[in-house]
Structure 1
Amino acid sequence: METVGRSFLEGYGHAVGTRTVAELEHCLAGVPERFRGFAYEGAAMGATVLDAIPGTGGRRLAALLSGQGRHHVYMAYVGIGWALARLPRPLWPDIGRTDPLIRWLILDGYGFHQAYFHTDRYVRDQRPSTGLGWPWGPAGYLQNAVDQGIGRAVWFVAGTDPDLAATLIEKFPHQRRPDLFSGTGLAAAYACGARADELEQLAHRAGPYRPQLLQGVAFAAEARELAGLTVEQNRLAVRTLTGLEPKEAALVCRRTRPQGPATGDDYERWRRAIADEITSRGERQNP
């Protein structure tokens, strides 16, 4: 987990310290595969912050996302959310230019930041997010997206201890737990840090929220596969939790992804379709 944090900071530093995106991409390519996604997450935050400074041209993030960053779009969008948590609202990037289906991951990143740096307020006291404002989709879904990021942060706050992670989530109101377990599943399969028996315990503790946990695992598989960064630790996590290989779980995400222009509710419908298929396939393989 410490290496995850260092890799994030390394990516941030490269984003603000290099002269060109080509140089930035060269630096990021030197980060080990297991941690390179976190470096891209940090780089997206750094690029967003850099673009907000007058006189910089405001084009570093767009260039990153149109280059090698397009393969790391899941983590990059999360990194933009980190920047939103640090920048005053007038300096936010133009969210309207992001992919309308997955731009909710930006709020996921915002939620992770808040839970990680304000743990007592957002995790232990279960405070909801208020006053953020989000004109790029249904306002009623804002807390859901933020909770998905809080759930990811819980995996880190709990030190990858599945029992502690589940105990923290169980203190939240019932209606928030599906998104929280989804985020925890994503972190458990993307960042890893747990043995197979510990992952099995996480699935057990998820109980009725296991479909959402597995949806998060599938998202992790897709993010890793899209970037070409799947390593053995990811394979162990995805196999243990879903009974599928990462390529198979990623294919579920791609096959169920809505086609055509995205509407405000498509993201949640997509997540539910993933959860339904991953869960049913796992039940068929483990009757």
Structure 2
Amino acid sequence: MRDTLRALRRRVLTPNTKAVLMSERGFHVKNPDSQALLERVGEVFLTGYALAAEARTPTDAEAGLEQIPVRFRGFAYEGAGMGFAVRDGLPVGRSDHFARFLAGRAAQHEYMAWVGLGWAMARLPRPRWRRFVVDDPLMRWLVLDGYGFHQAYFKTDRYVRQQYLHTRFPWPGGEHAWYAPRAIDQGVGRALWFVRGTDPDLVADTIEDFAPDRQADLYAGAGLAATYAGGVDEEELRRFWNRAGRHRLQVAQGAAFAATARYEAGLVVPHTELALEVFCGMTPKQATELCRKARPAAEDTVPAYEIWRRRIADAVAAHQGS
């Protein structure tokens, strides 16, 4: 009986795989290879989500997640993070699935799991957001990065073509509430890598259509996606780097984040090494050490997350100039 209920929960909660097809989304198709890559990412994300929806406990999902190929495993953990957070947001049942998930193997995929929580928030009624209290001053902004990605991916007309901007956002609130739109824009920038089919010129064209004060965060998100997801060769990476112009250090900061996420999870792949070399002149190990050293000890009037990002950009600039 319990197995039947878990299977039913999986069918009810998991989105249809058609939702991640490029044709369904109306995204740009650069070539068949990039299309296959991006659709595979979407499929794996939904696989992780389905494993979380069906699992009796978070530990039960780990075996299936660990079977996902290295290149895509992080996306599966992101999907599972969303799945467990959605279960926490339901009006019935336990509300600690995500916390228990993060205490297991997902601890190695921390960045991706928090981003997945942001996807869940985009799908849940706002009153349910009260269940999500993130005390970590760094990770809470990755939640909003995930929210921004979801909105740009599924509500592309509003968030990309109409360039919708949240001027006031209710979560997480507090003295740094003003930073929420910026964190959301970082997720929008990451989604642009998918919306524009990994075409570096189209991504840059789209970013440059946004207001100038939003472009730095958008470029940072796109740089992260280019490094983590891939889909381009060295010439295309260098073209994107050149197009970024005065926002190159934001691209580098996003790349360093992406490399750290893969390195700490043991998921480093050749396209990440290549992008990091082009954008930062570093190896994934060097980028990870840099990101660890740059972590701020406390918050100030500026969120610790933004201080962290600035320190990383400055450290990359110093490395490139050395």
Query: For the Cα contact (< 8 Å) 1:96–1:136, is it kept in 2?
Result: no
TM-superposed CA distance for 1:137, in Å, is: 5.2
Distance 1:45 1:2 in 2: 18
Corresponding letter in the other structure for 2:295: R
Distance 1:99 1:263 in 2: 16
Secondary structure of the residue that 1:225 maps to in structure 2?
helix
Which residue matches 2:306? Answer: 268
Instruction: Return the index of the structure with the highest Cα Rg.
Output: 2
TM-superposed CA distance for 1:56, in Å, is: 2.0
Q: RMSD of aligned C-alpha atoms? A: 1.5
Distance 2:235 2:314 in 1: 24
Distance 2:175 2:188 in 1: 19
Matched, 1:33 2:60: no
TM-superposed CA distance for 1:58, in Å, is: 1.5
Partner of residue 163 from structure 1, selected from 177, 196, 201: 201
Secondary structure of the residue that 2:90 maps to in structure 1?
coil
Partner of residue 136 from structure 2, selected from 83, 99, 115: 99
Partner of residue 159 from structure 2, selected from 116, 122, 147: 122
Distance 1:237 1:26 in 2: 30
Secondary structure of the residue that 1:92 maps to in structure 2?
helix
Which residue matches 1:172? Answer: 210
> How big is each residue's C-alpha offset from its partner over 1:146-173, in whole Å with a ceiling of 9 and x where there is no partner?
1000000011111001100000000001
Query: For the Cα contact (< 8 Å) 2:168–2:178, is it kept in 1?
Result: no
1:98–1:16: structure 2 CA closer, same or farther, 3 Å change rule? farther
Which residue matches 1:194? Answer: 232
Matched, 1:259 2:277: no
1:65–1:128: structure 2 CA closer, same or farther, 3 Å change rule? same
Which residue matches 1:215? Answer: 253
Query: For the Cα contact (< 8 Å) 2:228–2:259, is it kept in 1?
Result: yes
Query: For the Cα contact (< 8 Å) 2:176–2:301, is it kept in 1?
Result: no
TM-superposed CA distance for 1:17, in Å, is: 0.6
Corresponding letter in the other structure for 1:138: H
Listed as ranges, the gaps of 5+ residues in structure 1 are none
Listed as ranges, the gaps of 5+ residues in structure 2 are 1-37
Query: For the Cα contact (< 8 Å) 2:228–2:272, is it kept in 1?
Result: yes
Distance 1:110 1:175 in 2: 20
TM-score by length of 2: 0.85
TM-superposed CA distance for 1:64, in Å, is: 0.4
Query: For the Cα contact (< 8 Å) 1:77–1:103, is it kept in 2?
Result: yes
TM-superposed CA distance for 1:54, in Å, is: 3.4
Query: For the Cα contact (< 8 Å) 2:196–2:202, is it kept in 1?
Result: yes
1:261–1:53: structure 2 CA closer, same or farther, 3 Å change rule? same
Query: For the Cα contact (< 8 Å) 2:114–2:140, is it kept in 1?
Result: yes
Which residue matches 1:48? Answer: 85
> How big is each residue's C-alpha offset from its partner over 1:107-156, in whole Å with a ceiling of 9 and x where there is no partner?
00110011111112111221102453121551211111010000000111
Corresponding letter in the other structure for 1:63: R
Partner of residue 111 from structure 2, selected from 61, 64, 74: 74
> How big is each residue's C-alpha offset from its partner over 1:185-237, in whole Å with a ceiling of 9 and x where there is no partner?
00000011110110000100000000111000000011111111111121111
Query: For the Cα contact (< 8 Å) 2:220–2:253, is it kept in 1?
Result: yes
Distance 1:11 1:280 in 2: 39
Which residue matches 1:133? Answer: 170
Corresponding letter in the other structure for 2:270: E
Query: For the Cα contact (< 8 Å) 2:95–2:131, is it kept in 1?
Result: no
Secondary structure of the residue that 1:103 maps to in structure 2?
helix
TM-superposed CA distance for 1:95, in Å, is: 3.4
Which residue matches 1:234? Answer: 272
Corresponding letter in the other structure for 1:6: E
Name the % identity. Answer: 51
Distance 1:266 1:132 in 2: 19
Distance 1:40 1:137 in 2: 31
Corresponding letter in the other structure for 1:19: R
